[in-house]
């Protein structure tokens, strides 16, 4: 019974991965840049280390360079995660306007 419960739990955890079916075809990296089909889409801007509940956590922050690639956010995160599985990954989108500033 214990083995069945453990198997179901592991299967549940694996099937809940939100990046499991995200397509990362066409992505590569060069130094601090993420490239999609020979177009630079994101740049590594920050690496942070923190201690959370006694565990060392590494976090990489990338900045999307152009909103024309805004639809590739999940794919960029999945690509970086596949390369560095133990890192938390963030993607910053450029803000071209502010809802707080009236023009």
Domain that holds residue 60: 21-92
Q: Is residue 12 situated within a structural domain?
A: no
Q: What is the pLDDT of residue 22?
A: 81
Residue 92 is encoded by which pair of tokens?
């910053």
| The total number of structural domains that make up the chain | 1
Q: Is residue 55 situated within a structural domain?
A: yes
pTM above 0.75, yes or no: no
Q: Is residue 32 situated within a structural domain?
A: yes
Buried b (16+ CB within 10 A) or exposed e, 7-16: eeeeeeeeee
Q: Is residue 15 situated within a structural domain?
A: no
Q: Is residue 4 situated within a structural domain?
A: no
Tokens 């889409």, residue located: 41
Residue 96 is encoded by which pair of tokens?
């071209």
Q: Which H or E run includes 43?
A: strand 39-52
Q: What is the pLDDT of residue 103?
A: 56
Q: 51: number of CA atoms within 13 Å, CB side? A: 1
Q: Is residue 74 situated within a structural domain?
A: yes
pLDDT tens per residue across all 103 residues of the chain: 444 444 443 444 444 555 667 888 899 999 999 999 999 999 999 999 999 889 899 999 999 998 888 889 999 999 998 888 889 999 998 876 556 666 5
């Amino acid at each position: 019974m214990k083995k069945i419960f453990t198997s179901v739990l592991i299967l549940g955890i694996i099937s809940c991965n939100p990046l499991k079916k995200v397509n990362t075809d066409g992505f590569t990296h060069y130094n601090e840049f993420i490239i999609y089909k020979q177009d630079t889409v994101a740049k590594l801007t920050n690496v942070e280390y923190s201690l959370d509940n006694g565990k060392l956590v590494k976090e990489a922050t990338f900045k999307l360079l152009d909103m024309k690639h805004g639809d590739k956010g999940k794919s960029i995160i999945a690509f970086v995660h596949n390369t560095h599985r133990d890192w938390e990954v963030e993607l910053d989108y450029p803000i071209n306007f502010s809802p707080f500033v009236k023009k």
